[in-house]
């Protein structure tokens, strides 16, 4: 099982099709990348940033980790943000969570899964910070949805408070930080109407978004009901 042959076969087919349709495509990409977006999302195999947005190679710079967390001590994530903003000059940073996130659920249920428990402490910090509001959601399914949405909001605020993004705004840079969420059961991307374009907007965005998250009822009333 050393060779995963089928993957290489699919790759040749994929590259061949692109070469046939756009003979210049890979040559152009090889010269430079100029993506307009940075995507910060979950590592979940069901949330493939490029595919679900209908993007091509070159369209989006991507950082993924379990539960799409932006921690101020994570030099991996901070380096991605710095490179994207200062070198690639992306104009939009998208934090995209997803409903049914296993990382968020594990934190909510206090599961013991090993090393990852330490990473998920970031989510438990959110639970502790917003415990009163979360406890006020009676429906457990909606509470889980709300925590997935709340995690997006907190990570948008964390991105907005990084030194890199702060510096970009101070220098008059045009940069927006967006909060979206994705439904793994229907393939639909939802705009949570969380958008920050300057440091002065943080408090208002947090207050309005919290109101939105905790006034919504369950997104899916029946399993077959679709969001888009
Ligand atoms: Co997830």
Whether residue 169 is contained in a domain is answered as yes
- Domain residue limits at 39: 33-216
Q: CATH number, domain at 86?
A: 3.40.1050.10
Tell me, what's the pLDDT at 2?
72
Average of per-residue pLDDT values in the chain: 95
Q: What is the pLDDT of residues 157-191, one digit of tens each?
A: 999 999 999 999 999 999 999 999 999 999 999 99
Report how far ligand 1's centroid is from the alpha carbon of 180 (Å): 13
Whether residue 227 is contained in a domain is answered as no
Whether residue 20 is contained in a domain is answered as no
Q: What is the pLDDT of residues 94-137, one digit of tens each?
A: 999 999 999 999 999 999 999 999 999 999 999 999 999 999 99
The DSSP 8-state label assigned to residue 201 in this structure reads: G
Whether residue 149 is contained in a domain is answered as yes
Decide if 101 is catalytic. yes
Mean pLDDT of 66-87: 98
Percent above pLDDT 90 for the chain: 93
What's the total number of domains in the chain?
Answer: 1
* Residues recorded for the chain: 228
Decide if 98 is catalytic. yes
Query: Is the pTM value of this prediction over 0.85?
Result: yes
Tell me, what's the pLDDT at 85?
98
Angstrom CA distances, 94 to 9, 127, 193, 208, stand at 33, 22, 12, 19
Q: Which of 63, 77, 96, 101 is catalytic?
A: 101
Whether residue 26 is contained in a domain is answered as no
CA dihedral (159, 163, 165, 169) in degrees, to 10, reads 140
Whether residue 9 is contained in a domain is answered as no
Whether residue 58 is contained in a domain is answered as yes
Decide if 77 is catalytic. no
Tell me, what's the pLDDT at 16?
97
Decide if 44 is catalytic. yes
Percent above pLDDT 70 for the chain: 96
Q: Is the pLDDT of residue 223 over 80?
A: no
User: Which two three-digit tokens encode residue 171?
Assistant: 């220098």
Q: Is the pLDDT of residue 73 over 80?
A: yes
Neighbours of ion ligand 1 (CB under 5 A): 42, 44, 101, 103
| C-alpha closest to that of 172 among 206, 197, 207, 147 | 197
Whether residue 190 is contained in a domain is answered as yes
The DSSP 8-state label assigned to residue 200 in this structure reads: G
Report how far ligand 1's centroid is from the alpha carbon of 166 (Å): 27
| C-alpha closest to that of 191 among 217, 206, 209 | 209
Report how far ligand 1's centroid is from the alpha carbon of 27 (Å): 35
């Amino acid at each position: 099982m050393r060779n995963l042959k089928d993957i290489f076969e699919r790759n040749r087919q994929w590259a061949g099709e692109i070469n046939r349709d756009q003979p210049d495509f890979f040559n152009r990409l090889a010269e430079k990348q100029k993506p307009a977006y940075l995507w910060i999302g979950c590592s979940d195999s069901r949330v493939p940033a490029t595919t679900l947005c209908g993007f091509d190679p070159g369209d989006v710079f991507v950082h993924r980790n379990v539960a799409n967390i932006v921690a101020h001590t994570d030099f991996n994530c901070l380096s991605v943000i710095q490179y994207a903003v200062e070198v690639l000059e992306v104009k939009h940073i998208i934090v995209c969570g997803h409903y049914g996130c296993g990382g968020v659920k594990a934190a909510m249920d206090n599961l013991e899964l090993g090393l990852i428990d330490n990473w998920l402490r970031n989510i438990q910090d959110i639970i502790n910070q917003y415990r009163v509001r979360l406890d006020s959601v009676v429906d457990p399914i909606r509470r889980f949805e709300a925590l997935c949405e709340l995690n997006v909001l907190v990570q948008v605020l964390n991105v907005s408070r990084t030194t890199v993004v702060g510096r970009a705004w101070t220098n008059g840079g045009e940069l927006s930080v967006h909060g979206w969420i994705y439904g793994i059961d229907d393939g639909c991307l939802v705009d949570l109407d969380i958008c920050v374009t300057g440091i002065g907007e943080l408090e208002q965005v947090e207050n309005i978004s919290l109101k939105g998250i905790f006034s919504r009822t369950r997104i899916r009333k029946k399993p077959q009901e679709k969001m888009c």
